[in-house]
Amino acid sequence: MSATTYTAWVLQPDGQLKPEQRPLQQPAAGHALIKLKAAALNHRDLWITQGRYANITPGTVLGSDGCGTVVAVGSAEDSSWVNTDVILNPNINWGDSGRHQDQEHYRILGMPDDGTLAQYVNVPVHRLSSSPAHLKPEEAAALPLGGMTAYRALFSRGMLKEGQKVLVTGFGGGVAQFALQFALQAGNAAYATSSSDTKLAQAMQLGAAGTANYTRAGWEKTLQEQTGGGVHLIIDGAGGDSLNTHLSLLRPGGRMVIYGATTGLPHSVDLRRIFWKQLSLLGSTMASDEEFQLMVQFVQQYRVRPVVDTVFDFDQVPAAFARMAGGQQMGKLVVNIS
Ligand X SMILES: NC(=O)c1ccc[n+]([C@@H]2O[C@H](COP(=O)([O-])OP(=O)(O)OC[C@H]3O[C@@H](n4cnc5c(N)ncnc54)[C@H](OP(=O)(O)O)[C@@H]3O)[C@@H](O)[C@H]2O)c1
Q: Which residues bind ligand X (CB under 6 A)?
A: 42-44, 47, 146, 149, 169-176, 193-196, 199, 214, 237-238, 240, 242, 259-263, 285-286, 324, 327, 329
Q: Closest CB to ligand X among 317 and 324?
A: 324
Residue 110: which of 47, 186, 187 has the closest Cα?
47
Question: Which residue number, 94 or 259, has a Cβ lying nearer to ligand X?
Answer: 259
Instruction: Please report how close the Cβ of residue 289 comes to ligand X at its closest, in angstroms.
Output: 14
In the complex, least distance from residue 71 CB atom to ligand X, rounded to whole angstroms? 29
Please state the closest distance from residue 327 (CB atom) to ligand X, in A: 5
Taking phi over 0 as left and psi of -120 to 50 as alpha, with beta for the rest, 122 belongs to beta
**Cβ of residue 23: shortest distance to ligand X, in angstroms?**
31
Q: Least distance to ligand X from the beta carbon of 169, Å? A: 4
Nearest 5 degrees, angle CA 32-CA 116-CA 328? 155
Residues 282, 259 contacting (CB under 8 angstroms): no
Terminal-residue alpha carbon distance, the chain: 15
Between residues 7 and 262, which has the closer beta carbon with respect to ligand X?
262
Alpha helix locations (H) across the chain? Answer: 43-49, 137-140, 144-151, 174-185, 197-206, 219-227, 243-248, 271-276, 289-302, 317-326
Count other Cβ atoms within 10 Å, centred on residue 75.
14
* Radius of gyration (C-alpha) of the chain in whole angstroms: 20
Q: Which is nearer to ligand X, 171 or 312 (CB)?
A: 171
C-beta of residue 34 within 8 angstroms of C-beta of residue 88: yes
* Residue 105 Cα to chain centre, angstroms: 21
Which of 15, 327 has the CB closer to ligand X?
327
Alpha-carbon span 42 to 145, nearest angstrom? 8
CB of 58 to ligand X, least distance (A): 20
Q: Judged by CB, which is closer to ligand X: 199, or 232?
A: 199
